[in-house]
Amino acid sequence: PKATYGGASIASTLQHIRVGWHSGFCAHTKDVKKAFYKFVTIRMIFGLAVGPAGLEHSMNVIRSLARLRCPENPVLRHGCEIYLDDISFFGNHDDVIEAECAFKETALLFGFQFADDKSNALCLASASLQPFKHLG
């Protein structure tokens, strides 16, 4: 069956990050903890194909509410990319930190938590850049 996810692709997410790349660039990534669940049943289940669309909608609502908390934050307006359960914040360091905190606090109100072991930070001003996996 066709998946219901209609959000940004990995390619478009990476393109937005590349466009925002500059000397003061900073990026933080988050991954929703337990975003997907496994179901086992002996009966036929209908409607589970809406799972990806439901997750996408939830993340977009959380981003919109975080924008209300920090209406002047440019990262929440133009530097916050969502791909299923992977969130990317990019922009100037202080704006990224503020956006990430607002998003995490808002998500917590809806029961979403982020896995610390799947969170990363990349700042071009940093002396050491370590590779990491994100988006999938």
Global confidence as pTM: 0.69
Is 4 among the domain residues?
no
How many domains does the chain divide into?
1
Is 73 among the domain residues?
yes
Looking at the DSSP assignment, which residues form a beta bridge with residue 30?
A: 87
Under DSSP, the state recorded for 71 is T
Is 84 among the domain residues?
yes
Q: Which two tokens stand for residue 3?
A: 């998946």
Q: What is the mean pLDDT of the chain?
A: 76
Q: What does each C-alpha distance from 3 to 6, 52, 65 come to in angstroms?
A: 8, 7, 26
- Note the pLDDT tens digit of each residue in 11-22: 777 777 666 666
- Note the pLDDT tens digit of each residue in 29-85: 777 765 555 555 555 555 566 677 778 888 999 999 999 999 999 999 998 988 878
Domain CATH number, residue 66: 3.30.70.270
Is 1 among the domain residues?
no
Contacts of 27 (CB under 8 A, 6+ apart): 17, 88, 89, 90, 96, 120, 121, 122, 123
Structural domain span for residue 73: 10-123
Asked if 134 contacts 86 with a C-beta cutoff of 8 angstroms, the reply is yes
Is 132 among the domain residues?
no
